Amino acid sequence: MTIGILKEIHDHRVVMLPEIVKTFVNMHVSVIVEQGAGEKAFAKDEEYKAVGATIATREEVYTQADILAKITPFTSEELRLLKPGQMIIAILNPLANKAYVEELMQRNVTAFGLDVVPRTTRAQAMDVLSSMATVAGYKAVLTAANTLSKFFPMFMTAAGTIKPSKVLILGAGVAGLQAIATSRKLGGVVEVFDVRAAVKEEVMSLGAKFVEVEGATDDSSAGGYAVEQTEAFKAKQAQAIHDSAVKSNVVICTAQIPGRPAPLLLKKETVEEMTPGSVIVDLASSTGGNCELTRDNETIVHKGVTIIGNSNFASELPTSASRMFGTNVLNFLKLIIDKEGKLNLNFEDDIVKGTCVTHGGQVMSERVKSFLHL
């Protein structure tokens, strides 16, 4: 069994750092690494070689590996390079891209989508979305603090007392909770909105205020995720968010609904009532953003308020992000590689089946199948 590690094109992370490769080598698995794959995450080719990997060209990796691993989705061009029987593992974003899933079926690829690992207790150690959201929530707050025109913590100095910054966090999933924790460590006063009432206690235990809006559709059958809300709820929530946002110095937007556009929670009019010098960081920018003015991968200033649209903060912390990602991948691959280093695809295992987007020209993951009506 050979695992191939591919270099990311527009990302600083690498799917596995040398320490993870070492574990695979100890499991009798060969690892072939594309030249310079770890460069931007500060992992040199020599370090991969030192733990037993082979360094090769991109073409050689595609020719020799049984499982090709990367972080970002394989493009159509990359899928064309695959040989029959080869497997891929990456974030594949299948819920938002039916045509892509159909392409994987047509090409008969065995594709594992790390972003559809079931969210069960046993699968927690394989959950790349949680890992990357942790990085993003942390980095979003540091970026906001760096951009903000005032201090985060309260200061009592001879030059007077400075009030702490007010932080509003939209969405208290993994990224939101990390953003709360980081804001609190910096001394911010934090208010939080989420449609899932289940998060209230977690929010409060981190020292933030949970602003409740009654009437949310909290669908417990959605695997812990949020679902679309009614128009009446949206109107009530919009008013409550407006009232909180105009008093805030920082807004961190993290609200998402899997496979759907991000909910629009922060209107242009609200931003225009915020104090100039304030900052909005929108982590949901790649799916449209929570703020009406967000532009993905851009920073704009609107009437003195800076709006940063960035859904890929994980790439800005490549060492930690790659370490977490690689550990998640290792934990997943241990389910399909046996002790002799041989492939053991057991679709009776709910994690293996749930993570497998396509195999043998069919969609394996029930969640992907029902979501895309396939």
Sign of CA dihedral 266, 270, 274, 276: positive
Judged by CB under 6 A, does residue 200 bind ligand NAD?
no
Can you name the residues that pair with 279 across neighbouring β-strands? 250, 306
Residue from 8, 191, 194, 282 touching ligand NAD (CB under 6 A): that is: 194
**In the complex, minimum distance from the CB of residue 215 to ligand NAD, in angstroms, rounded to a whole number:** 12
Residue from 164, 258, 259, 289 touching ligand NAD (CB under 6 A): that is: 258
Q: Of 170 and 307, which CB lies nearer to ligand NAD in the complex structure?
A: 170
Binding-site string for ligand NAD from residue 87 to residue 126, where x marks contact by CB under 6 A and - marks none: --------------------------------xxx-xx--
Q: Mark whether 124 is an active-site residue.
A: yes
Q: Which of 28, 30, 36 is nearest to 6 (CA)?
A: 36
Instruction: Determine the straight-line distance between the first and last CA of the chain, rounded to whole angstroms.
Output: 32
Q: Are strands 362-363 and 356-359 parallel, antiparallel or unpaired?
A: antiparallel
**Residue from 107, 184, 225, 260 carrying the catalytic annotation:** 225
Q: Of 48 and 112, which CB lies nearer to ligand NAD in the complex structure?
A: 112
Could you tell me what percentage of the chain is helix, strand and coil, using 3-state DSSP and rounding each to the nearest 5?
40, 20, 40
Q: Are strands 67-69 and 54-56 parallel, antiparallel or unpaired?
A: unpaired
Binding-site string for ligand NAD from residue 9 to residue 38, where x marks contact by CB under 6 A and - marks none: ------------------------------
Q: Mark whether 237 is an active-site residue.
A: no
Judged by CB under 6 A, does residue 236 bind ligand NAD?
no
**In the complex, minimum distance from the CB of residue 238 to ligand NAD, in angstroms, rounded to a whole number:** 10
Which 158-177 residues touch ligand NAD, going by CB under 6 A?
170-176
**In the complex, minimum distance from the CB of residue 77 to ligand NAD, in angstroms, rounded to a whole number:** 29
Neighbouring CB atoms inside 10 A of 160's CB total 7
**Residue from 124, 239, 362, 370 carrying the catalytic annotation:** 124
Q: For helices 318-333 and 128-147, what crossing angle results, to 10°?
A: 170
Can you name the residues that pair with 210 across neighbouring β-strands? 192
Which 309-328 residues touch ligand NAD, going by CB under 6 A?
none
Measured CA to CA, the distance from residue 71 to residue 313 in angstroms comes to: 14
CB 36 within 8 A of CB 29: no
Q: Are strands 110-113 and 87-90 parallel, antiparallel or unpaired?
A: parallel
Q: Which residues form the catalytic set?
A: 119, 124, 127, 130, 225
Judged by the rule CB under 6 A, the positions of this chain that interact with ligand NAD are 119-121, 123-124, 127, 129-130, 133, 170-176, 193-196, 199, 224-226, 229, 254-258, 263, 265
